[in-house]
Structures are given as structure tokens and as C-alpha cells.
Chains A and B, each alone.
Chain A
Amino acid sequence: MNLFKSTVGRKILMAVTGLMLVGFITVHLLGNLSVFAGADAINAYAKHLHDLGPLVWVFRLVMLLLFAVHITFGVQLYLENRAATPDNYAIQKTLVTTFSAKTMVFTGLIILAFLLYHLLHFTVQITNPEISAQNLPLVDGHLDVFTMVTLSFQKVFISLVYIVAMIALTLHIFHGLSSWVQTLGLSTGSSQDKVTYIGKIVAIAYGLAYIAIPLLLLARIVK
């Protein structure tokens, strides 16, 4: 089908999957922020997720599909674009593009690497078994996710990994959250469209909120 091969079709697929991933990180962020509301809040949130049962697997499958489509085309487009540009100028100048736009595939791959680590850390819980919820005493009959999270982020290495990854995510959606408007043919004026600015502001807000979690726990401002 043309959609999977065309230069525009693949960009549209990337924009749609990218936006759905943004939907995911929005819900995920709201859930994560419950750590600031205390142990009961985040433990209850974790319990709700567990109680979804088989739905969790449906959700995981959808996420896998979104990532697969987004990453496959992202890497494909990147490789084609490199092949189309074999030689550099002696003086290489750009006028309006951003660091964030130029590094999309790299920030994307950092996110992917982080995602694998993140799943091993909090989902499979094998990177730091001594502080994993599976091995901590239950509270009121359910897993103590709060203690796992706070003890994790008190470790400098873990916090740094998360902070670097969240900087990459912020850079990625800084371009992504304005780029989709153009890709889906919704922009009407120049690159100065208002939505572009809103997208960039939202990206920074997400970044700050995501980084606040490991940062405040590491600094023991939140315990």
C-alpha cells in the first residue's frame, strides 16, 4: 500500500503514532506525579493498573505496535535522508531549524534504550532486586511501589539515567509536538503558527514535570 512506502504517507504514520505516544506519556506523567501525593496515592494508582488484568496486555500490545511503526519508519526515513545527502558543504549553515529537529532519530533511540532499561527496572524488576516491590514487604496487602520508587531515585546512577532520558524525550517532543501540525496538513500559515508555540511550551512543561520526579527524590526534597 502506498501509505507505507510514500514519503508523505510514512510521515503521516509517524505523526499519528507519535501523537498517540504523546497521549501515553501524558497519562503516564499524571500517574507518576501521584508520587508527590504520598505513598497511598501512588500505591493505589499501581493497584488500579494491576487490577486491569488482561486489559494490561491489550494495552501493552498496542504500545508495542505504536513503537514498532514509529521507530521503523523513523529509522527508515533517517537512512534515506542520509543517503540523499552524501556530501557536506565546506561551510554548513542552518537558519531556522532547531537542535531538537536535527537530533530526532538520536533522541528517539535514547528513548528506546531508556524504555528497555525502564521496563527491566520497574516492570520486570531485575536491575535492582534489593529494592524491587516484589521483594519489599506488602503494605495493606498490596505492593509497595512508593518505597521502590523513592529508594530507586535516591541512587545517583538511576536518577541520572532517568534525567538524561527525560531530557532526550523533551527534545524529541519539542520538535514532534509542533511538527505534526504540518505533517497532517493542518498548518495554514508559515512555521510561526500558534500551535507550534503551544507544542513547544507543552514539551518543556512535560520535560520539567518528568524531570522533577527523579530530581526531587534524589535531592530528598520529597521523601
Chain B
Amino acid sequence: MDLTLHVWRQKGPQDKGKLETYPAKNVSPDMSFLEMLDEVNDGLIKSGKDPIAFDHDCREGICGMCSQVINGRPHGKQEKTTVCQLHMRQYNDGDEIFIEPWRAKAFPIQKDLIVDRSSLDVIMQAGGYTSCHTGGVDDANAMLIPKPTADYAMDAAECIGCGACIAACPNSSAMLFTSAKVAQLAALPQGKPEARKRVLAMTQAILDEGFGNCTNHYECEAACPKGISVKFIAKLNREYLKTMIPTSTDA
């Protein structure tokens, strides 16, 4: 099939950037979206032009690097699918496809479709961990965790940190990402001791990094390639409310 691509081209962080149009000819329906872009880039390189810069790593839907807004939807039109796992059979001959980078103040564009997502790392560094002593590995079942709790934590841990939730959010809020981390750790015994400190520090980092506030649009959940539920945001809010209740160690 033949397609027309409108791709965001931007030389560097300071450049204004603009959409440019490229044909994509003889695209096989079995190609992934990134492979289709690889072919287009091949053509660009052969004709002496600068190839389209885009992020990718695993190409199997687990690293969260492939960040593209395709026709207004982060990761494109297929539900719960990253760009690398999106296939061209989702498109028809003659389709026009707009490809843009994640857009948010906290995600400055580096080049073309590549954005700097270190602001998510800063949120993680603020509290997305548990402090523990190094040493021998614990016995696998030494700490008993009920199955529903483990499942709940695993659902939250599915987040691959790609940033689609922020790209989709009308407020560029990082609440779904942050809540997945807060909920995962708060549910488990290892995370409980630092739960209060964590939720305060991580939500503060959201604002410090220039993300917006959550106003419950739920676009994040709809865009998430891993189907992270907004119930984790309610959980984060609950964890925040809990910090207002004094504990015996406060007094």
C-alpha cells in the first residue's frame, strides 16, 4: 500500500520545527510501524536527506522508548499497543498519517520525534523505590503476600514508563505514571514503611518537573499501551489523604 506521512521535523531543542510530508510507497501490511519508518528513512538517506529521528529500543513493547503520537493518539490507533507493536495492516492504501512527538513542557523535544523523558526519572528518584539493606537474597516465600495483593501490584507494575499518559493528558499531568508507582509499592509490605514519604515526594516532583495537575479526564487510561487503570490514581489520592492522619511516630 502507499501512504502519505506528515512527520514533525525539528533540528534541535531550540528549533521551531514543522510538519513535513513524505510518501511511503509499497508498504507491506506485515511491517511494524517502526519498520515502515525504517524504510522511509532508507529512502531519505539514499537521497542524501536527514533521516527522521525517532526513539526505539526493544521493539517488543516492553521498554517504552517508542514515543509517537500518530493521528492524534499516543502509540497510534490500536488499543493497548506500543508503536513498535503496531502493524501496518491497521492502515489502508492512500491513508494520510500524522506523526508527532509527545508534547508537554516536561518533555522537551530533542530532535524530530525524540523527546527527553528524564523528568519521569526525576519523579522515580523522588520516591519510586524502597530502601533496603543489601546482602543475601531473601527466601522467595519468606514474606507472605496474598495473591490478590500481588496481582494488584503486578497490574500497576505493568507500566513501562513510556509517557503516553502525559502525551494524551489535556493537562500534561504525570498522575497515571506516578500513581502506578505509588500504588504498586504501597500495596506491598516492602513499600509500606516509606509510603507516606513516597507519595508526598513523588507528587511534589510532578509539579517541580513542570507536569500539570490531574483533573480526571481519564485520557491517560485510554492511551496507555499497558492498560494501567485510573483506579491507581484514586489509590494515590487515598495514600495522600492517609498522610494527613497522624501516626504514633509523629508525636
Q: Known contacts A6-B200, A6-B203, A85-B212; is A187 also within 8 Å of B170 by CB?
A: no
- Looking at the assembled complex, report how far the CB atom of B48 sits from the nearest CB atom of chain A, in whole angstroms: 27
With both chains docked as a complex, state the minimum distance between the C-beta of A173 and any C-beta of chain B, in angstroms: 14
| A interface footprint on B227-245 (CB within 8 Å = 1, 0 otherwise) | 0011101111111110010
| Partner pick for B19 among A11, A85, A90, CB 8 A cutoff | A90
- Decide if A7 touches B203 in the complex (CB within 8 Å): yes
Give the chain A neighbours of B211 by CB distance below 8 A: 84
Tell me whether B217 and A96 are in contact (CB under 8 A): yes
Tally A residues with Cβ within 8 Å of B. 44
Q: Given the complex of chains A and B, what is the CA–CA distance between A8 and B216 in angstroms?
A: 12
How far does the alpha carbon of A187 sit from the alpha carbon of B237 in the complex, in Å?
Answer: 10
Q: Which chain B residue has the least Cβ–Cβ distance from A178?
A: B216
Are A84 and B72 within 8 A (Cβ)? no
Q: Which of B87-118 contact A (CB under 8 A)?
A: 98, 100, 103-106
* Residue numbers in A under 8 Å from B216 (CB-CB): 101, 175, 178-179, 182-183, 191
Contact check, B221 vs A190: say whether CB atoms are below 8 A apart: yes
A94-B212 in contact (CB<8A): no
Tell me the bound Cα distance from A104 to B171 in angstroms.
Answer: 13
CB nearest to A176 among chain B residues: B216
Interface segment among A30-38, A75-83, A209-217: the answer is A75-83
Query: With A10-B213, A90-B100, A190-B231 given, is the CB distance from A185 to B219 under 8 Å?
Result: no
Taken residue by residue from 119 to 147, chain A's Cβ proximity to chain B (1 for < 8 Å, 0 otherwise) reads as: 00000000000000000000000000000
Q: How many residues of B contact A (CB 8 A)?
A: 51
Assembly CA distance A144 to B170 (angstroms): 49
Instruction: State A96–B239 Cα separation when bound (angstroms).
Output: 26
Q: Are B219 and A94 neighbours in the complex by a CB distance under 8 Å?
A: yes
In the complex, the answer to whether B237 meets A94 with C-beta atoms within 8 Å is no
Q: Is B69 an interface residue (CB 8 A)?
A: yes
Q: Are A81 and B103 in contact (CB under 8 A)?
A: no
**Chain A residue with Cβ nearest B237:** A185
| Residues of B with C-beta under 8 A to A190 | 221, 229-231
Nearest B residue to A87 by beta-carbon distance?
A: B103
Are B240 and A84 within 8 A (Cβ)? Answer: no
Q: A62 to B211, alpha carbons, bound, how many Å?
A: 33
The answer to whether B98 touches A90, judged by C-beta atoms less than 8 angstroms apart, is yes
B162 close to A (CB within 8 Å): no
B83 contacts across to A, CB distance below 8 A: none
Asked if B153 is at the interface (CB within 8 A of a chain A CB), the reply is no
A92 and B103 alpha carbons, distance in the complex (Å): 11
Provide the bound-state CA to CA distance between A81 and B71, in Å.
Answer: 23
The 8 A CB mask of A167-198 against B (1 = contact, 0 = none) is: 00000000100110111111111110000000
- Residue contact B207 to A8, C-beta cutoff 8 Å: no
- Within 8 Å CB of A83, what residues of B? 105, 210, 212
Q: A86-B105, A185-B234 are in contact. Are A8 and B240 (CB under 8 A)?
A: yes
Q: How far is the CB of B55 from chain A (nearest CB, A)?
A: 18
Residue of A nearest to B96 (CB): A91
Contacting residues, chain A, for B239 (C-beta < 8 A): 185
Among A77, A84, A86, A175, max chain B CB count under 10 A is at A84
29 contacts between A and B (CB under 8 A): A7-B213, A8-B199, A8-B203, A8-B237, A10-B213, A11-B214, A11-B215, A81-B171, A83-B210, A84-B105, A84-B212, A88-B103, A89-B103, A90-B6, A91-B71, A91-B100, A96-B218, A96-B221, A101-B216, A182-B216, A183-B237, A185-B235, A185-B236, A185-B240, A185-B241, A186-B234, A187-B230, A190-B229, A190-B231
12 more contacts with CB within 8 A, not counting A6-B207, A179-B215, are: A3-B244, A9-B240, A80-B213, A84-B171, A85-B172, A90-B8, A93-B72, A93-B73, A96-B221, A101-B216, A183-B216, A185-B238
- Closest 6 CB pairs between A and B? A93-B72, A185-B238, A84-B212, A91-B72, A81-B171, A185-B237
